[in-house]
Structure 1
Amino acid sequence: MGSSQDEDSLGTGTCSPMSSLHECHQDELGLRSVSSFSSTTISSFLSEDLGLRTGPVVIDMGTRSCRAGFSGHQTPSAEISTLVSHTTVWSKGLEETRSEAFTGEEALLYPDTEIIEVMQNGIIINWEAAETLWQHMFEHKLGVPPEEHALLITEPPLSPTSGRENVAEVAFESLGSPGIFMAPQPVLSTYAHGRTSALVVDIGHVVTHAVPVHDGNCLAYATKRTDVAGSCLTWYLTMLLGDMEHTLGDWLSPVVEDIKHTCCYVAFDFDNECLVPPTSCTLDFTLPDGQTISLSKERFQCPEVLFNPLPTWGDSYMGIHEMAQRSLDLLPEDIRSVMHRNILLCGGSSLFEGLPRRLDSELAQCLPPGTEVEVVAVPGRRHAAWMGGSVLASLTNFQSCWIRRDEYYEEGPCIVHQKCF
């Protein structure tokens, strides 16, 4: 079934994704990490009969935002909020109503709308809303028709297998994509760093994961998670700034987010940092109305909960160093040393100044004496999974791994379990 375009524009034949990728790891992936990636190198990856002439699109969904862009680029072309809202508008003269959907930040601008939660703990829970979001991304942000682009969709850790089938249905039946592939976010993050084995510590908005990746495969049995994440830090900073609530006013939530990203840092030694005079760490922050507030010890007290969650939060909230240690302890000895030297910090809540050094120190203290530990934190780590997808979708050996539209209609959604690693 499928059109001739599918055969001409996508690689044909079958492949084992991992075997194909391993063939190119030494000469392509290892040397084409995102830090050295540029549009001029893409021509060395693609030939006339591989990939779409217009280039695959990589989509990375997070609880807070959705990132999308073209393979071979260093950064996403667009990023929007994962908010979706629906409002019912009465059509004059008709005895029916018309439903309108709004996406991204626009979803908050209209009264009498119902906010739809697309994601929960990093997992898509409303596929109709996800479809609306992706349609909006193509039409208004990327400015290209989805029918002309293969899609590489990132997959969060511990996601249900049914999610893959839902992605395929939306991509082929709603968006009309000629080809798709799904790859785990931790694996893509290792590719973004030019590696195939690492412990990926991804600190997101509502959940943090430690996922060992060995030879391009996620080791689910050693994957750990904690509920300590960006939203916890925002809440805690709000509490610390409680006395200023009257000053922050209507801007409370977005302003606290800005303060967290702009002003906060991780102390190397928290107890010693608490002893320094408050004036030595004071920083002024300008509010949207022009007023200025001064922050002092709140700057390092807020992200400290990444390592020392409040006791009242419960057992699901553990420090990120403890989470990483528990993951490492479950690994076979023969690969543990590789993981110790390749701990990759990723995610939007991993950008605090001082965090890599502190995590390195905490792990060195809780691992056996003499253990060589290296925490890697590249500047673009907020988009690590997307960047890894950009690299993967551009590799020559990957082009035969796409699930084509004709294959989908022949085999059904279950084909994703056969072709996606």
Structure 2
Amino acid sequence: MPFTKPVVVIDNGSYNIKAGFACDNHPVSIFRTAVGRPKFLKGTYGRTPYEVYVGEDAVARVDELDLNYPVVKGRITHWDDMERVWHHIYYRELKAAPEDRAVLLSCAPATTMKDKVKCCEVFYEALNAPALCVKPQSVLALFGSGFTTGISVGLGHDLTEINPVYAGGSISYANMLTNIAGNEITNFIKHSFRRRGIRLGKQLDDVLEDVKRNYVYVTENGAVKKQDYKKSFTLPDGKTIDVSDESLMAGEMYFQPELVLGKKLTSDVIPIQEAIVTSILKCDSELQPEMYDAIVTYGGMGTMPGLNKRLARELEAIINRPVNVIPTSEAYAVAWLGGAVFAGMAGAKRLWVTKKQFEDQGERIVKNRF
């Protein structure tokens, strides 16, 4: 099935969505996965005319809009809003007609077949796309790092998911969740500020996001030199606050949650290094050595300084052998890049489902291809 124009690659995320063309080496657009409607509607949608805002436009009007986030923990929970987001990508961000281009759509490793079929319905019936391929983000992250076998460690906004991949196929029965993600980091910093009496009002969300993205780091062994420990943050009003504890301890949540959470620690929270080892042990014994040779971290929290070195150190201490944690400067976009790589592979085009094939065979061909 020849594609006459570059494939559109869309990487769905709970916090941000990335979109662009397979011929590019970086997404054209990255924006918040959010949809906003006027608060005065109070749920009475459709009775009076109103404007719907998507992405950064919606977030900028948070005081006057009810915001909805259609992707929660990797799953699409509001299909009408997700359709609006995809529509926005084509007509506002990419300036491309959906009927002209095949689409590669990323999904969470645990996405159900029912949801994949629903994606086909939206793209074929509402957007009139000619062909669609749905691939797990974990597989694409490995592709984007130059591997087809290994462990994908997705550090997202509301989900940290470990997924083994062998020869380009997801081993879904070995998936693991740590139940510590970017959202828990944000809450930790927020509660720390509150405990210290720091009140920021409407600036709070922006400050929390800035501290999380630019100040949180991971030490190599859980310790830090005094001169490197001090971190100061300048608020929008010019006042300076100390964020040393928050910067250090937030990153430690992934590796030592019991140290940071204390009595708030629940039984379902697992240190990331233990979750990775458990996930690999669930795989067939002959595959396990290969998994340690390519460990790829991706997602927004995958950009934390020091993360990969610490992860390698912790894993080697458990299994007593070298591991290969793949460094990348663009962990937030590596799954999208893997999608662009996959879309350009000669043999990949047979994995797309065309609109006509879906109309003729329905759910059966989705199960076969995806």
- Would the aligned equivalents of 1:152 and 1:182 in 2 still touch at CA under 8 Å? yes
1:390 aligned to which of 340, 359, 362: 340
Q: How does 1:149-168 map to 2 (within 5 A)?
A: 149-168=101-120
Q: Does the 8 A contact of 2:39 with 2:66 survive in 1?
A: no
Is contact 1:88–1:98 with CA below 8 Å preserved after alignment? no
| Percent of residue pairs bearing the same amino acid type | 28
Q: Is 1:137 aligned to residue 137 of structure 2?
A: no
Structure 1 counterpart of 2:360: 410
Q: Distance in 2 between matches of 1:143 and 1:289?
A: 38
Report matched runs for 1:15-414 at 5 Å: 50-53=2-5, 55-87=6-38, 96-108=47-59, 109=61, 113-242=65-194, 246=198, 248-270=200-222, 272-273=223-224, 276-277=225-226, 280-309=228-257, 310-311=261-262, 312-367=264-319, 369=320, 371-414=321-364
Pair member with larger Rg: 1
* Residue aligned with 2:163, SS: strand
- In structure 1, runs of 5+ residues without a counterpart are 1-10, 12-49
SS at match of 1:69: strand
Give the SS at the match of 1:332: coil
Deviation of 1:281 (Å): 2.0
Q: Which amino acid letter does the alignment assign opposite residue 132 of structure 2? A: I
Deviation at 1:320, TM superposition (A): 0.6
Equivalent position SS for 1:345: strand
User: CA–CA distance in 1 between the matches of 2:303 and 2:338?
Assistant: 18
User: In the superposition, relative to structure 1, how do residues 127 and 143 fare at CA in structure 2: closer, same or farther (>3 Å)?
Assistant: same
Contact 2:142/2:152 (CA < 8 Å) preserved in 1? yes
Contact 1:85–1:107 under 8 Å retained in 2: yes
Higher relative contact order (CA closer than 8 Å, sequence separation 6+): 1
TM-score (norm 1): 0.81
Q: How many residues align?
A: 361
- CA distance in 2 between counterparts of 1:96 and 1:297 reads 50
Shift of 1:417: 1.2
Which whole-Å CA distance do the structure 1 matches of 2:47 and 2:287 have between them? 63
Does the CA contact (< 8 Å) of 1:228 and 1:305 recur in 2? Answer: yes
Q: Deviations over 1:250-299 (max 9, x none)?
A: 211221110121112111222x43xx44x542233222223322332332
Give structure 2 stretches of 5+ with no counterpart: none
Alignment root-mean-square deviation, CA: 2.0
Deviation of residue 407 (structure 1)? 1.2
